[in-house]
Structure 1
């Protein structure tokens, strides 16, 4: 009976795992971290041991010799209960009956111990509820297991809070190879001066906050992305992306380019509203390896927030545009996206000719939004992973105008005699006198990304009418109001020699053709570049980068220019 007596005397030992099973379930579901689990379990076991110690200190009942009176009393009790009367003085199995007073005392002691254990479990569970924000307690915040490249994720009740970002810096040496300036070209070859700069690459720095939750079966997310550069900012048409100002007392620019919300689910698809990367051209830049390096500098003597990478030398920049879009669920690898976006102005990027007249038309009127759409298909064949995408863009450009030099005459008095003074001024005039002329810009693209083992290939092509080159609607319409055709492509090969070291080579071209009736020999005809880069992953966060890039621009006439740049630096992503 020794083991049976121990169970009666210390019932909390048998119950010590009851509450721990509840904690095991909470930990398995992700409601508790390992540290929280251990703390709550230790708190519970402390109460259990305290109850056990109190029970062991309680007076134990010791059976006494039976007198005739007590024997008579016992006999009467057991007879009343309908139990068999055993001879007095015999205790234990085969030796007679157990003393009723002793059994009653043991039962009372077991009940007290069980009550103490239950009270301990209830106390610990209430503490757990309070810690996890249940039952009106304070919110409980914990961190998810960190995965490299996916940022830091915290859970605050039903809300996931993710912080991610990157910081980069490069020393870039640019050497012009000579030539004559090309209107709308991206090469700096005609500058005649070597330049050194400490700058950002195609990416600035970034700090991105994402909030996610599910309410009433709807997955909700809010995203805010801040992208500061390391160089001095200079106000201009492109804001933080305008060429910089390397002058003392300058400050860096902040590019708050991402502000949007999404709502939907995997069954019905997702809606997005806010400012984010455009649909057309988005995959082209995200798959561009120069996103993690420099590529074409654009300007190196006064660097802005970013370099060009392959912008204008393989694709047109997708840009960050206010939009309302819908993305469908993925069905057998296919997914579609359609959206209306803020219409953008037609922009004279190439500037004015020698006579002060604009090469390209401009516009600021928009009665309808820009429309963009895309279809993607993801699939695997054996060890090959592939994505194919195709997208389109269309926007109506209204009330086109062009800058034109006009002669203005005024009469002034000189030494008391009237004289006529003539001055040249730049004036915006309709591209078709007396008419509010407009055009519809259109473009399409197709691309693929193939990954097989350590090798990766990207191929991309676009073509547009009124789309322009480098930026959306840059030089897309000639000064006579006619649309210019444009096209471009890039090919890229990447090979991972080890888990830490990889090489990348790429070549890209952007072509801009003259409009019918146009003859502007100084206007850019072709921008192209070749890029080779080496990447070494020192840690999960830190990558070292070394790169060489050759960029050239050619006009429709005889003018050409080219430059070479070498860059070295690092980029940290978390």
Structure 2
């Protein structure tokens, strides 16, 4: 390198340290020069080429100086110089001796200023170390159990907070609809879901098939076991009225009323992906669960049920395509998923046979009732999720078994110890292809009843009634935000052997069309039309038409 270039580099180096003098190279300070080059390179005062050149020279000179030191008995300390100008040295012969001793080429000098440069370097290093400690402390604080983190929000999945080892998830929904029901006339049908024989139009501001909901879920892992605790509260917006169905009983549109709280979800889970998951508490049962979870009216009204005095929910397709799965106390187990396949089985709180056709009267005339249970209800389910080409498939099948004891009715004495083994099964599938979705579902039961579990499942003579039903549903996403849905469903209840009940419901059915517009990630606007009809085993029948419009917010 020419001496002019060396002078320029030396001047740049001096400017980079803001004019601070540095000690000339000696073996005691062998690393100072390298550190200085690193600082100047980091500050942009040296190009990469200049940095590499000076570093190579420094390494060569270090080696030469070390060899010279071994050959000299005494190390000569260089005289201080007053300038960095090439060839200008203070002390004449001492400067030459310094150059010879240090093995540096003439013109490159670093002036010692006692310990000032070392002190400043140490202070800079201390500040850097303190800054690193502060950064690490901030990281440690963020990772500590004392700080609550917020997971990335996913629309519809709620808000998740992490407090130490515990994930806290809050999710829910709120909906409200204006619903206008117009009866088309007819005669009452015992156990029917249509209100067409009422003779009066009705307006309501009400919930749809879903009430409002707020669910709290706490999740953690301890000793390799994943566990969670879930509590779900589901209030309605209309006044509640005490009755057989608690918060789901028809409402009471009278002043000073208050809504009911349906605390239907209370359970714990524990397990992992290797052994499966156990559930203990109250949650949605297995039989019929996929039928309602894939029903489009879950986000709308469907068949309104009682519209003049609405309760917590409407019917949707309950009783007009499937039997309500219900939220039942249970001890259940779900296997790990294997290639999209999963099995579930559990024991459930047994439910009574209920005389819905007679309005739940104490002296059942059309259907038998029961209140004794020596064994639990058993339910099981198998599901499969997979993809075939561009088609996504969700397929399921489930079963239910329960023994009903001590059946009685107006014509059947409880002393007869009449019993019945209720059996039911279902199968369904949901297929998605591009903007199209299709759902098909079928169920059949013996003693199962219709609309809800064990409603009118056993005749007054103690014999089981057969029931079956189905629904088909098609959806088309016209745009990313707008979806059109149409569905048709039927629930049939057949008379038991030896029975003659002409007023008993034979068929409930409905045709539903709806449009859903997703205004935001949270808010959906819904418009819907439903035609519902009920037919008896005799000549009675009734039907009604319902129009609903409203919103549902899901977070």
Same fold by TM-score greater than 0.5: yes
CA pair 96-298 structure 1, distance change in 2 beyond 3 A: closer
The one of 226, 251, 255 equivalent to 2:258 is 251
Shift of 1:400: 1.1
Structure 2: gaps of 5 or more residues: 1-9, 18-31, 43-68, 79-92
Question: What's 2:95 paired with?
Answer: 89
The worse-fitting range, judged by mean Cα deviation, of 181-190 and 142-151 is 142-151
The one of 374, 377, 382 equivalent to 1:375 is 382
The 5-angstrom pairing of residues 85-124 of structure 1 reads 88-90=94-96, 93-95=104-106, 102=113, 105-124=116-135
Is structure 2 residue 485 aligned with structure 1 residue 485?
no
Structure 1: gaps of 5 or more residues: 19-76, 405-428
* Secondary structure of the structure 1 residue equivalent to 2:439: strand
Shift of 1:356: 6.3
Q: Aligned partners of 2:314 and 2:281: how far apart in 1?
A: 25
Shift of 1:101: 5.4
- Post-superposition CA distance 1:533-569 (Å, at most 9, x none): 1111111111111111111111111111111111111
CA contact (8 A) 2:248 2:311 kept: yes
TM-score by length of 1: 0.79
Question: What's 1:272 paired with?
Answer: 279
Question: What's 2:46 paired with?
Answer: none
CA contact (8 A) 2:514 2:527 kept: yes
The one of 334, 343, 346 equivalent to 1:336 is 343
What is the RMSD of the two structures over their aligned residues, measured on CA atoms? 2.8
Is structure 2 residue 534 aligned with structure 1 residue 553?
yes
CA pair 305-82 structure 1, distance change in 2 beyond 3 A: farther
Structure with higher Rg: it is 2
CA pair 533-3 structure 1, distance change in 2 beyond 3 A: same
- Post-superposition CA distance 1:462-506 (Å, at most 9, x none): 000011100001111111111111000000000011011111110
Q: Aligned partners of 1:299 and 1:97: how far apart in 2?
A: 99
Q: Aligned partners of 2:421 and 2:450: how far apart in 1?
A: 16
* Secondary structure of the structure 1 residue equivalent to 2:216: strand
Question: What's 1:496 paired with?
Answer: 477
The 5-angstrom pairing of residues 172-321 of structure 1 reads 172-321=179-328
CA contact (8 A) 1:284 1:460 kept: yes
- Post-superposition CA distance 1:81-121 (Å, at most 9, x none): 86466652356632399689547553443234223321332
Q: Aligned partners of 2:303 and 2:73: how far apart in 1?
A: 101
Q: Aligned partners of 2:37 and 2:251: how far apart in 1?
A: 73
* Secondary structure of the structure 1 residue equivalent to 2:133: helix
CA pair 559-153 structure 1, distance change in 2 beyond 3 A: same
Question: What's 2:56 paired with?
Answer: none
Question: What's 2:517 paired with?
Answer: 536
Is structure 2 residue 383 aligned with structure 1 residue 402?
no
* Secondary structure of the structure 1 residue equivalent to 2:128: helix
CA pair 4-285 structure 1, distance change in 2 beyond 3 A: same
CA contact (8 A) 2:190 2:536 kept: yes
* Secondary structure of the structure 1 residue equivalent to 2:483: strand
CA contact (8 A) 1:12 1:114 kept: no
CA pair 477-13 structure 1, distance change in 2 beyond 3 A: farther
Is structure 2 residue 430 aligned with structure 1 residue 449?
yes
CA pair 548-352 structure 1, distance change in 2 beyond 3 A: closer
- Post-superposition CA distance 1:11-39 (Å, at most 9, x none): 79979xx9xxxxxxxxxxxxxxxxxxxxx
CA contact (8 A) 2:457 2:465 kept: yes
CA contact (8 A) 1:352 1:359 kept: no
CA pair 13-545 structure 1, distance change in 2 beyond 3 A: farther
CA pair 117-553 structure 1, distance change in 2 beyond 3 A: same
Shift of 1:313: 0.4
The 5-angstrom pairing of residues 425-440 of structure 1 reads 430=413, 434-440=415-421
* Secondary structure of the structure 2 residue equivalent to 1:214: strand
CA contact (8 A) 1:312 1:469 kept: yes
* Secondary structure of the structure 2 residue equivalent to 1:285: helix
Is structure 2 residue 334 aligned with structure 1 residue 327?
yes
Q: Aligned partners of 1:95 and 1:489: how far apart in 2?
A: 100
Question: What's 2:490 paired with?
Answer: 509
CA pair 397-83 structure 1, distance change in 2 beyond 3 A: farther
Question: What's 1:463 paired with?
Answer: 444
CA contact (8 A) 1:131 1:140 kept: yes
CA pair 335-240 structure 1, distance change in 2 beyond 3 A: same
Q: How many residues align?
A: 485
* Secondary structure of the structure 1 residue equivalent to 2:120: helix
Q: Aligned partners of 2:366 and 2:147: how far apart in 1?
A: 62
